[in-house]
Structure 1
Amino acid sequence: MPSTLLTDVAEAKITAASGSGTQVAITHIALGDGNGANYGPSFSQTALQRELARQAIETRHIVGGNAWRVKAEFGPETPAFFVREMGFFDADGDLIAIWAGNDVQARQTGAITYLVDHVLSFSRVAEGVLIVNAPDDVLFDLAVTTGTAIANLQLETLRQADAIRAAHGSY
């Protein structure tokens, strides 16, 4: 079964950041073809076997005390290849987590938008060491929807005021 492993580099960086006020910011997702074959990932990996595309994480939100969901899109212009591995990289470019497995069902990129919607679990890190900080997509969507509704109400009020002035003149 494909699995997502938190790498040794990630464990060391997160442990070092604990209590220091620094952070490990996971910023990018990379896709690779595993050199054309499935494989079991290892904790000691520092790179994908063959990275072929990388995108910034577009959205992320908390799904638990030590897990968050990340989303990214790889557009139709992405080169065509069969995805057998996925890497999650921090702002320093270090591999933090890797998804791969001997039984991965490879899916092809290119010509269509390839969507990544993945839950990252940080269960390898000691309890209380990790603070998952990600925006709440639902709350953000609500804020955008509310802001749009208020703007539309204000525009309608102005439109009606202009119509009343045009029909009756200024007072």
Structure 2
Amino acid sequence: MSSDGIDIITDLGEAKLNAAAGSGLAVEITEIALGDGNGANYDPSAQQTALKRELARRPFDKRHMVGTNAWRVTVAFSPDTPAFWVREMGFLDAEGDLIAIWAGQNIAARQTGAVEYALQHVLNFSRVREGLVIVEAPDDLLFDLALNTAHATAQFQLQQLRQADQIRALRLGS
């Protein structure tokens, strides 16, 4: 979604995170909900317990950890999802409670329905103690493979550059 939206943890989400902090448990985020914001863009509020108008919900398809307490989630809504302009997203735990919400005044709404509505979003809980939030979804193994391949290729190229520098230094020295 557009970077102009903002993610916030709801008051209920914060309460659940605080309760989990001393218990050894974690808050498991399992689903995403989409809504049309009741037909208008808006700034989300921590007091919200639901989207303004939820119109679709489903579990995440994949996840990939991108940092401490940050996950890139992927989900695809099928073409038979009702057609509406997405202006808000909610991230829900296993009990269906709204833990975090994304919305904003300046977002560019995208329409669902008729074609697969695919989205990727980074859920960032960096201000939450490590281990208190878990995103439940299958790991995105293809994304992991792409990152590992890119990293290995970069390391190989770096080694080649170092070797080229050593060869140049040897030639200049002789």
Shorter-chain TM-score above 0.5: yes
* Structure 2 stretches lacking a partner, 5+ long: 146-174
SS class of match (1:25): strand
Which whole-Å CA distance do the structure 2 matches of 1:133 and 1:112 have between them?
26
One-letter amino acid of the counterpart of residue 41, structure 2:
N
Of 95, 98, 121, which residue of structure 2 is paired with 1:95? Answer: 98
Of 35, 51, 54, which residue of structure 1 is paired with 2:54? Answer: 51
CA RMSD of aligned residues (A): 2.1
- CA pair 16-73 structure 1, distance change in 2 beyond 3 A: same
- CA pair 62-98 structure 1, distance change in 2 beyond 3 A: same
Q: Does 1:137 align with 2:140?
A: yes
One-letter amino acid of the counterpart of residue 5, structure 1:
I
1:16 corresponds to: 19
Q: Does 1:42 align with 2:45?
A: yes
- 1:12 deviation in Å? 1.2
Greater Cα radius of gyration, structure 1 or 2: 1
SS class of match (2:27): coil
Which whole-Å CA distance do the structure 2 matches of 1:47 and 1:40 have between them?
14
Whether the 8 Å contact between 1:15 and 1:129 is mirrored in structure 2 is no
Of all paired residues, the percent bearing the same amino acid is 63
TM-score, normalization by structure 2? 0.74
* Structure 1 stretches lacking a partner, 5+ long: 143-171
Deviation track 1:109-159 (CA, whole Å, cap 9, x = no partner) reads: 00000012110011342x4463656665338976xxxxxxxxxxxxxxxxx
Runs (4+) of structure 1 moved beyond 2 Å?
127-142
Whether the 8 Å contact between 1:13 and 1:24 is mirrored in structure 2 is yes
SS class of match (1:87): strand
TM-score, normalization by structure 1? 0.75
Which whole-Å CA distance do the structure 2 matches of 1:69 and 1:12 have between them?
24
1:82 corresponds to: 85
